[in-house]
Amino acid sequence: DFPSTPPPSPTGLTYRKISVQKYRPPSVYGGLNTIGNYILAVNEKLTMQNLNDRLASYLDKVRSLETANFQLEKQIREWYETSSPATKHDHSLYYKTIKDLQSKIGAAHLNNARLILQIDNAKLAADDFHMKYETELALKQNVENDIAGLLRVIDGLTLTRADLELQIEDMKEDMAFLKKNYDEETERLRRQLGGTVNVEVDAAPRIDLAKLMDNMRQQYESMAQKNREEAKEQFDIQIEKLNQEVAVSTGQLQIQKSEITDLRRNFQSLEIELQSQLSMKKALEDTLAETEARYSLQLAQIQAAIGNAEAQLIQVRADMEQQSNEYNSLLDIKARLEIEIATYRRLLEGEDKLPTPPFWLWAVAICAADICTCKWFPPCPPPNHLKKNIFIHFN
């Protein structure tokens, strides 16, 4: 009995079963023992010769399989020595590169957070300066309004001064007119007194008109002088006050102008600094985006390399497992061949001798590839009703 499908073998030969069939033939004409013994001796000689040939071929195959097994073990050891450390070393390099990239990404994130904090601080400072600018601008407008009010006061004082000067001129004209009238009245009275006749009469003492006129003139002059001095004093006091107010206003105006100039200069410098900070922020954001893109690309490349390395590692493990299976299969074949050799050795040494009467027939199945052939020794098939199968399994 032979199987229909042979098992795989790395050498191309498939050893299935050896079906040893023995039978006891019926006696012909009451027993021809001598002829049977002769036939048995001839069959044993042919069988032993065939077994010797097969044993030699099996020994050659065993030696070739041992050589192939040794070469395969050598290749496996060389592959382990060359591939395994390199793979581990490559993985450590990948891990080291990934760790370095992660540290660089963390440093970039910290730097980005630091820059964002600086940008926020710059924004807060810019807002503070903007508020200060608004406050100073309001103060400037208030000072300008005060200056405009002081200018209006100065204009009013100037008009008042002009009015007082006009009043002084009018008073001078009035005083000149009164003096002229006084002189004319005095001259008229003198002319009237010069053309009269002195008549002495007993009467009350007469009034000294000249003295009276002198007294009146002195009174008017003293009043005019007093009015002039009072007007001058009042004018001087008002002028002094106006000068002081103008001086104070001018000083405050100069101070406010200098403060406005400083504020304008500070505003311009802060605006320039804000523009520089904004440009720096834009440049840093562009640099950060470029750095993130570059590191993302490098990380993707490293992940792809790691994926390729893992795929290669999986393939190597699969190849190792396949080679290990083939190696175990070869070891199994070797063990089977050793069992078969031991069996043939026992046959050659006479451990499994066949009984002489009646004689025995052997059937050996030889399988190469998927084709199995059966040879009988001696080449005469036994009857089916006396056939007994003995199997040697190599499963």
**Would the pLDDT of 1 be above 80?**
no
Say what the pTM is.
Answer: 0.30
pLDDT in tens, 169-207: 888 888 888 888 888 888 888 887 765 545 454 444 555
Contacts of 105 (CB under 8 A, 6+ apart): 295
Tell me the per-residue pLDDT of 91-117, one tens digit each, with 9 for 90 and over. Answer: 677 778 888 888 888 888 888 888 888
Tell me how far the alpha carbon of residue 30 is from its chain's centroid. 106
Q: Which tens digit of pLDDT belongs to each residue from 124-136?
A: 888 888 888 888 8
The predicted model gives 259-263 an average pLDDT of 84
294 pLDDT above the threshold of 70? yes
What pLDDT, on the 0 to 100 scale, is given for residue 206?
57
- How many Å is the Cα radius of gyration of the chain? 72
Residue 125 and residue 278 in contact, taking contact as beta carbons nearer than 8 Å: no
